[in-house]
Structure 1
Amino acid sequence: MPHTVPSPDPEAAASAELARRAARVETSLAEPGAPFAVVLGERGTPEYADGPRTLREFVETTWAYGEAPFLIAGERACSYGEFFAAASALAVRLREGYGLRPGGRAVIASGNRPEWQIAFWAAQLAGLVAVPLDAGWTEDAVTYALEDCEPGVLLVDGERLGRVAGWARRTGTRVVLLHGSGDESASGQRAESTGGGRAADGLRVERYEDFPAPDPLAAPPDVEPRPEDDATILYTSGATGRLRGAVATHLAQAGAALNARYHAAASARARGAIPGLEPAPVSPMTVPFSDAAAFSGFYGAMAAGGTLALTDDADAGGGPAGYGLAETCGVVLAPFGDDRRAEPGGAGRPAPVTEVRIAGPSGEELPDGEPGELWLRGQSMFRGYWRDAAATGAVFADGGWFRTGDRAVRRDGWVSVVGRLQGA
């Protein structure tokens, strides 16, 4: 009988070619001596060899962008220099005026506006743990998070004031009204500035607009957080419906910031461009700033001296492509180059400091093409759930692997998330 040679599978050949291209890009950016070179950290997991190790180090690099536009909201624009001066001034006030100390929590409850970014980065410059809350939460959900994390200050806008007012009265916690009067809230809770004292109804509110104008030459507080110190608590309900606070260290969030920078560089290299020499990006932002995907968006823009354009236009985009969770501090799997067009339904390829395992029922690594649970490990993983050792233990496997509960398959390095595990 004549010997029959099977015809090549066009899809498999195309996937293999995309993998080869991706490998060339990844090698050029992450090999020893390259901008995103990787080393093994003290925990035995990959970390970036160079770059910031804390969010304070990361944001301090943006000061060099000076008059370049950082945020555009309608007709209002804020330069990097103005932003950094405002964040530094608020950080000093939180430290010296409010007496907050490193490790204390600062809740941010606001819609997407420049003051959200000022408040978040002021917390980092003051050595505080930033706790961004979903702007769409009900008062019950907000109260649960406040009871759980026990913040020392509430940085809110007028629309959210009514949702924190009851808890703030009961506890005497001070409130900074970032924007608006409070008339916007469903409760009609109007804020009268108390100048740091206590109002007749027990609510201690200061208006951000009443603070002195920031000194552009003034330095932030003399606080140097360590990489292992907590930087953020991002509340997530996952599939359980119960809110849990995912705690991330400075090292993890700094890794997330570098992940965003890497994904941008990989996309540029895949297009044949030289990373860092293209015009600074303008990034439309419709995703709430409190969302983990938004972190990747504003980290990426800030790393390149780009601009965040706040918009309500859902067709404008507003978040990076790929896969990320509160527990991963943002996007850790992302497409670049031809991948985005060839496999639009997939999640992407891992960042250099993200290890992927497609795990079987006993935790064994499954071969390419076989679906299993997506496990992740690396620099940008959270350290655990706030004050919830049981929940933390349930999602971490031996070796520091985070069990996402998502069902995924890997082919030629590309990871596609195809659903949730039953009961996860």
Structure 2
Amino acid sequence: MSSDTDHRPAPPAGAAEIIGRLTGPGGRFELSDAEVLGSRLPVFTHRQRALHEVLHASVAHADREYIVTADRRITFAEHAAQVASLAKVLREEYGIGRGDRVAIAAANSPEWILTFWATVSVGAVAVGFNAWWSAREMAHGIDNAQPALVVADARQSAKLADCAVPVLSVENDIGRLAASHPDAPLPSADVAEDDPAVILYTSGTSGRPKGAVHTHRNLLAVVEYHRLNDALFEEFGDPVASQDRVYLLTLPLFHIASLHNLAVPRLATGSRIALHQGSFNVDAVLSMVERERVTNWGAVPTMAHRMLEHGGADRYDTSSLTSFSLASAPSSTAFKERLRQGLPFAKDSLVDSYGLTETCTGVAAASAQELAAAPGTLGRPVTGVQLEIRDPAGEVLGEGEEGEVWVRSQFNMLGYWRDPEATAGAIGPDRWLRTGDLGELREGRLFLSSRRSDLIIRGGENVYPAEIETVLVEHPDVRECLVMGVPHPDLGQEVAAVVVLAAGSTVTEETLQEYAANALAYFKVPKQWRLTHEELPRNATGKVIRNQVRV
């Protein structure tokens, strides 16, 4: 799941007419068919063509605040000047230009956002590494992305000891370089709309993370989608002007929820980002909501669960929060009802959505009213998205029939970086993306029945068993293994492993856990183990029957 943190209460009757006027011929957000990568797709007619255009336009917001943290406040004008300085350094000192990759391996910070804008504004590609990756995973990211430069915080820098690529420190270098050329001109680049702009990694079904490539077109389409949302709610009399909304950023910037659907569009709309840094802390986050008068927040279910357990939400003034969305992981209707009962701001503002890293934004969205009318729905396809349910042969299914969710839009990724086989497996003829998720459409609303086959979603982080199994079977005492998700009251799911040991092995859980921790991000390391000498159950073709395996 994905959240764009911008689903406010449902529009009144007559919304379809207004949307039609805004997106129809001559409308401010007119949609028209255009050639995109060999297919005819509906695109926003009046769109920007390169991300540096968003940066240039942002100086009009001048002294308004773009990013605020617990102890810093950065205006749009200050941000633009710092990006210009950093971009000059990237170009002149490191030779970064069109198509070069700049990897960002760091936890959330203003420096992360500065580096992103400086990178894409010179035509280079910003590569978001997971800030919790192990040294092994970092090495894979370097090998796959082949960056010309890495920007890393202290934690991830320590895992780059053998890296042959130049590394800049978030803590010591970025701020200094962003102030070193205060009069530098704003950067721009001669790029095509379908040139890569961002690579974000999604856990790999085949054992290694895959880099989803997003283009300038993709991100700028997301910007227009958010501008359209703002325009709609202004039409419906939203009492808070779009530029006065404040967006709480608590999810990692290497996810589409925070980067594509928050940091990028808010530079375009003049809205403020309240950036929480460090691990999730209920009191710190709710204090920020109160202090900054936050209006929009997209949280993962684990965060919402911890707020319920904390039980002190009513001690803070959260009356400004009018849109609270769940992101990155599925949540039950019962859990949503607990949130409405237990969190003051969730009663009338709780919304949900569906999307993937590969789709750049939510491709279906459910308002609070939609959730009340059809509990369990993920809403209707958003403007510009075509969504179908298909059978294994690719034939479109009818009302209420379960099949795989296919989506097609200007938001869909270009493909997987340096992985044509995986790209061909995901993107079919005419740019249709096969999500791997099973669902059905009822009265135009999407209902999801299961996520990608064996996917584990732990606290909002996608974990594919194959990636962990690939690591474990390299251990000399492991003959074979199977990794699965098991229910967890706080995280939603936890990672568990059943390991078939080599004959005579006496290896312990502790040894295997330590071994896995040296190769995997902490959230992928199994917390539950069953060590056995019995073979895993298999079908007639030799494939493990996963649903017969228990921890």
- TM class by shorter-chain length? 0.7 to 0.9
The aligned residue for residue 179 of structure 1 is 171
What is the CA distance between 1:32 and its match in structure 2?
Answer: 1.7
Q: 83, 86, 91: which one pairs with 1:87?
A: 83
Q: 79, 98, 103: which one pairs with 2:99?
A: 103
The aligned residue for residue 25 of structure 2 is 32
Instruction: Please give the alpha-carbon distance, in whole angstroms, between the structure 1 residues aligned to 2:243 and 2:194.
Output: 34
The aligned residue for residue 373 of structure 1 is 404
The answer to whether the 8 A contact 1:252-1:329 is kept is yes
Instruction: Please give the alpha-carbon distance, in whole angstroms, between the structure 1 residues aligned to 2:239 and 2:31.
Output: 18
Q: 372, 381, 389: which one pairs with 1:350?
A: 381
Q: 1:21 to 1:137 in 2, by over 3 A?
A: farther
Aligned length: 376
The answer to whether the 8 A contact 1:371-1:409 is kept is yes
What is the CA distance between 1:111 and its match in structure 2?
Answer: 1.0
The answer to whether the 8 A contact 1:36-1:352 is kept is no
Residue identity opposite 2:195 in structure 1: D
The aligned residue for residue 280 of structure 1 is 244
Instruction: Please give the alpha-carbon distance, in whole angstroms, between the structure 1 residues aligned to 2:363 and 2:451.
Output: 18
Instruction: Please give the alpha-carbon distance, in whole angstroms, between the structure 2 residues aligned to 1:412 and 1:110.
Output: 43
C-alpha deviations, 1:52-107, integer Å up to 9, x for none? 12222223222211111111110211111111111111111111111122100000
The aligned residue for residue 475 of structure 2 is none
What is the CA distance between 1:176 and its match in structure 2?
Answer: 1.3
Residue identity opposite 1:103 in structure 2: G
Instruction: Please give the alpha-carbon distance, in whole angstroms, between the structure 2 residues aligned to 1:101 and 1:278.
Output: 34
C-alpha deviations, 1:345-393, integer Å up to 9, x for none? 3323323221111112221222222221111111111111111111111
Residue identity opposite 1:66 in structure 2: A
Instruction: Please give the alpha-carbon distance, in whole angstroms, between the structure 1 residues aligned to 2:45 and 2:240.
Output: 19
Instruction: Please give the alpha-carbon distance, in whole angstroms, between the structure 2 residues aligned to 1:407 and 1:23.
Output: 28
The answer to whether the 8 A contact 1:95-1:221 is kept is no
The aligned residue for residue 418 of structure 1 is 449
Q: 416, 422, 438: which one pairs with 1:385?
A: 416
The answer to whether the 8 A contact 2:123-2:188 is kept is no
Instruction: Please give the alpha-carbon distance, in whole angstroms, between the structure 2 residues aligned to 1:96 and 1:240.
Output: 39
The aligned residue for residue 262 of structure 1 is 228
What is the CA distance between 1:304 and its match in structure 2?
Answer: 2.1
Instruction: Please give the alpha-carbon distance, in whole angstroms, between the structure 2 residues aligned to 1:351 and 1:53.
Output: 22
What is the CA distance between 1:129 and its match in structure 2?
Answer: 0.6
The answer to whether the 8 A contact 1:38-1:46 is kept is yes
Q: 85, 104, 128: which one pairs with 1:132?
A: 128
If the length of structure 2 is used for normalisation, what is the TM-score?
Answer: 0.63
Does the residue aligned with 1:292 lie in a helix, a strand or coil?
coil
Instruction: Please give the alpha-carbon distance, in whole angstroms, between the structure 2 residues aligned to 1:129 and 1:274.
Output: 37
Q: Are residue 229 (structure 1) and residue 260 (structure 2) matched?
A: no
C-alpha deviations, 1:90-134, integer Å up to 9, x for none? 111111111122100000111111000000000011110110111
Instruction: Please give the alpha-carbon distance, in whole angstroms, between the structure 2 residues aligned to 1:379 and 1:56.
Output: 19
Q: Are residue 297 (structure 1) and residue 268 (structure 2) matched?
A: no
The answer to whether the 8 A contact 2:87-2:121 is kept is yes
Q: Are residue 310 (structure 1) and residue 271 (structure 2) matched?
A: no
The answer to whether the 8 A contact 1:138-1:163 is kept is yes
Q: Which runs of 5+ in 2 are unaligned?
A: 1-9, 287-296, 300-324, 326-351, 456-551
Q: Which runs of 5+ in 1 are unaligned?
A: 1-16, 181-206
Q: Are residue 394 (structure 1) and residue 425 (structure 2) matched?
A: yes
Q: 1:119 to 1:36 in 2, by over 3 A?
A: same
The aligned residue for residue 203 of structure 1 is none
The aligned residue for residue 473 of structure 2 is none
Instruction: Please give the alpha-carbon distance, in whole angstroms, between the structure 1 residues aligned to 2:242 and 2:229.
Output: 14
Q: 1:412 to 1:299 in 2, by over 3 A?
A: farther
Instruction: Please give the alpha-carbon distance, in whole angstroms, between the structure 1 residues aligned to 2:102 and 2:214.
Output: 14
The answer to whether the 8 A contact 2:88-2:184 is kept is no
Q: 1:298 to 1:349 in 2, by over 3 A?
A: farther
The aligned residue for residue 201 of structure 1 is none
The answer to whether the 8 A contact 2:195-2:215 is kept is yes
Identity, in percent, stands at 31
The answer to whether the 8 A contact 1:263-1:334 is kept is no
Does the residue aligned with 2:150 lie in a helix, a strand or coil?
strand
What is the CA distance between 1:276 and its match in structure 2?
Answer: 8.8
Map 1:123-162 to 2 at 5 A: 123-162=119-158
Q: 1:395 to 1:99 in 2, by over 3 A?
A: same
Q: 1:33 to 1:115 in 2, by over 3 A?
A: same
Does the residue aligned with 2:114 lie in a helix, a strand or coil?
helix
Residue identity opposite 1:289 in structure 2: L
The aligned residue for residue 247 of structure 1 is 213
Residue identity opposite 1:399 in structure 2: D
Instruction: Please give the alpha-carbon distance, in whole angstroms, between the structure 1 residues aligned to 2:231 and 2:265.
Output: 10
Instruction: Please give the alpha-carbon distance, in whole angstroms, between the structure 2 residues aligned to 1:306 and 1:103.
Output: 30
What is the RMSD of the two structures over their aligned residues, measured on CA atoms? 2.6
Q: 48, 63, 68: which one pairs with 2:64?
A: 68
The answer to whether the 8 A contact 2:52-2:189 is kept is no
Higher mean C-alpha deviation, range 332-341 or range 301-310: 332-341
Instruction: Please give the alpha-carbon distance, in whole angstroms, between the structure 1 residues aligned to 2:11 and 2:206.
Output: 37
What is the CA distance between 1:337 and its match in structure 2?
Answer: 6.6
What is the CA distance between 1:215 and its match in structure 2?
Answer: 5.1
The aligned residue for residue 8 of structure 1 is none
Higher mean C-alpha deviation, range 346-355 or range 358-367: 346-355
The answer to whether the 8 A contact 1:276-1:304 is kept is no
Instruction: Please give the alpha-carbon distance, in whole angstroms, between the structure 2 residues aligned to 1:227 and 1:358.
Output: 29
Instruction: Please give the alpha-carbon distance, in whole angstroms, between the structure 2 residues aligned to 1:412 and 1:106.
Output: 45
The aligned residue for residue 355 of structure 2 is 324
The answer to whether the 8 A contact 1:260-1:297 is kept is no
Q: 1:308 to 1:158 in 2, by over 3 A?
A: same
Q: 1:293 to 1:239 in 2, by over 3 A?
A: farther
Q: 1:122 to 1:103 in 2, by over 3 A?
A: same
